[in-house]
Amino acid sequence: MKNIAKVLVAASMILGCSVNNSFAQATATASASATIITPITIALVTNMNFGNIAVSPSSGGTVVLAPASTRSATGGVTLPATQGTVAAANFTVSGTAAYTYAITLPSTATLSDGSSHTMSMGSFTSTPSATGTLSGSGTQTLTVGATLTVSAAQAPNAYTNSTAVPITVNYN
């Protein structure tokens, strides 16, 4: 019986060693990384200005200011030869070179003479439109125009917007 016990102990030791050499599992490793990019920014260079506008006492109209700082008039609005300052809004967008970004323009804005007279702006357009791509130096010029609606017999005065006209950019 002692011999049988010795054989059983020896057999269990052999089986125990062979179990430890099992290849039922495997392990692999991975590394992790992250890249911090330059935050996107937008800076105003030039404010939007529709210039001098004349309007009929009986018929209103619009002034369309293109992103290229050109303008046209419709309806009872005329653009005098002494045009004043005409400029589309001009911004510099900066960030990580070669990245694309989305452009969000406002739907409307209001100009006021500080009294009870107002005009509305809408139909904002930009160059580039919808999306832009930052250059190799990480910048791009963004110009914005809009359409100004002028009422018949609009009160003569200088009009400005009382709240900012938000132009938003964000990485795609």
- Reported residue count of the chain is 172
Task: Provide the pLDDT for residue 28.
Answer: 95
Residue 12: pLDDT over 90: no
Structure tokens at 4: 């049988």
Model's pTM, two decimal places?
A: 0.82
10 pLDDT band (50/70/90 cuts)?
low
Helix (H, G, I), strand (E, B) or coil at 7: helix
Percentage helix, strand, coil for the chain under 3-state DSSP, each rounded to 5: 10, 40, 50
Q: Are 80 and 64 in contact (CB under 8 A)?
A: no
pLDDT 10s digits, 47-91:
999 999 999 999 999 999 999 999 999 999 999 999 999 999 999
Residue 75: what residue type? G
Q: Which of 152, 171, 167 is nearest to 77 (CA)?
A: 152
Looking at residues 3-18, what average pLDDT do you find? 55
CA–CA gap between residue 118 and residue 1 (Å, rounded): 112
Q: Which of 106, 108, 87, 111 is nearest to 162 (CA)?
A: 111
Residue 22: pLDDT over 70: no
CA–CA gap between residue 71 and residue 78 (Å, rounded): 11
